[in-house]
Structure 1
Amino acid sequence: MARQARVLRDQPGHPQALRQHLIDATQRLLAAHGVTGLTTRTIAHEAQVADGVLYNHFAGKDDLVVVAMVERFTELGRQFSAGCPKPGAQDLRTGLTVLVQQCRTFQADAFPMLAGLLGRPDLLHELFTRLHGAGGRTHPVVWSDIVDFVEAEQRLGTVSPDVSPDTIATVMFGASQMDALREPLTWGATHTGTEAVTADGGSQESVERLVDVLVRACRAD
């Protein structure tokens, strides 16, 4: 039988501590390996509990995976919002650069988890339903934060009124997703050690190229 995890020895009689412990263990496995190959047994082994324990707190493995992802995505959204630039507090290029870097950091964590669900449309649907709620907001917090920033800069006159904030969010979000996909595949072939690298593993040069495009698209001349 699996030995009792330390967090449970330290907090006996607290079922919520065990529930959160299972969520934390699942998040670690998702971050390291994604959904592929994730089983009840691997989760139990990571959490150092008996195989059947998770059924006391979740409907099954899929329910635990979705709960773990919702919690992680919610935290990533909070981190993104906290790091967003304030409209008018800096020049447009600096503000867009911060947004791009924030978006890349978000995608570096979020995209591998989402990619793992592409073969499970049922879980993907359940994830977005729980994140956004039935009839809730159309776009995730990250998307809305980008749109809000561009709209605020438009009101300040630094972004052209002809620019679509939603399109800017699409370009920034999509480019960051491509970077999250491309970086692990091309790292060994394209990085020589002389190129500046951002915290999420992407090159500073690619950030600047994207910002150049966004500034030209947004500028109010």
Structure 2
Amino acid sequence: MPTGVALRDVRRQLFDAAERVLLRDGPSGLTSRAVTEEADVAKGVLHRHFADFDAFLAEFVLDRVNRLDAGALRESAGTGSVVDNIAEAVVAVFGSVAVAIVPLVTFRDGLRARLRDAWPAGVPVLTDAAEMITDYLGAERELGRVRENADPQFLGPMLVGSAHLLFADRTGTPPTPEAVRKMVASALGGALRGPTGTH
């Protein structure tokens, strides 16, 4: 099916261009013209494949959210240290385009309206990351590396909120892995068995 392949290629080309524009110019610089110029395609290409620009952005956001590798964090349960595992996951999420998606979603009313069907609550990326960490902490609690009285449903969103504040300044220097690790260790506080959750 050459048409399907061509459509996938065009979508990937446009999404990759949107990511580059978003990271470079921020939400206000992300326009249909900027995306098509960055992708080096004719202006009409985007509108041939998507109903309008907000429909394109909704697909772009969901595509990037689906790249979060929740399985890798879950599979690390019982290995390494809980603090290191979460710190690495946080850097992977917020060191990518994810941190730029949050202001994009808050910046565009039309995009939020489009996303509501697929994402009824919360902000994409933040919600997904919180669920990923909550699930991981639940697995670690079952393994005895997180205390029984610790509440993953509370700790997951708290860690994501703290991480978002660390990474929020898109124009500044991103936090070091050690700063992220320190934040995770502080946030988990007494929830771990041992200082970093290694036993």
Cα deviation code 1:16-46 (max 9, x no counterpart) = 4333322332222223223213222222211
> How far off its partner does 1:108 sit?
2.9
Amino acid paired to 2:44: G
Rounded to whole Å, the distance in 1 between the matches of 2:176 and 2:138 is: 28
Letter in 2 for 1:104: V
* Selected match of 2:143 from 153, 156, 160: 156
Gaps of at least 5 residues in structure 2 are 195-199
Find the counterpart in structure 2 of residue 219 from structure 1. 192
Tell me how large the CA RMSD over aligned residues is: 2.8
Share of identical aligned residues, percent?
Answer: 23
Which has the higher relative contact order, 1 or 2, with Cα contacts under 8 A spaced 6 or more apart? 2
Q: 2:188 & 2:32 partners in 1: Cα distance? A: 48
**CA offset at residue 85 of structure 1?**
5.4
In structure 1, the gaps of 5 or more residues are 1-10, 188-200
- Range with greater deviation from structure 2 (120-129 or 27-36): 120-129
Against the structure 1 CA distance between its residues 48 and 162, is the aligned structure 2 distance closer, same or farther, given a 3 Å change threshold? same
Confirm whether residue 124 of structure 1 aligns to residue 97 of structure 2. no
Number of the residue aligned with 2:47: 55
Post-superposition offset of 1:167: 1.6
1:66 aligns with 2:58: yes
Shift of 1:214: 4.0
User: Which residue of the partner structure matches residue 195 of structure 1?
Assistant: none
**Secondary structure at the counterpart of residue 29 of structure 2:** coil
Task: Quote the Cα distance in structure 2 between the aligned partners of 1:34 and 1:128.
Answer: 22
Partner secondary structure for residue 62 of structure 2: helix
Q: How far off its partner does 1:164 sit?
A: 1.0
Give 1:176 shift.
0.8
1:180 aligned to 2:167?
yes
Q: Is the 8 A contact 2:74 2:135 kept in 1?
A: no
1:34 pairs with 2:39: no
TM-score by length of 2: 0.77
Quick one: distance in 2 between partners of 1:157 and 1:42? Answer: 51
CA drift of 1:55 comes to 1.5
Give the corresponding residue for 2:179: 206
Which structure's CA Rg is the greater one? Answer: 1
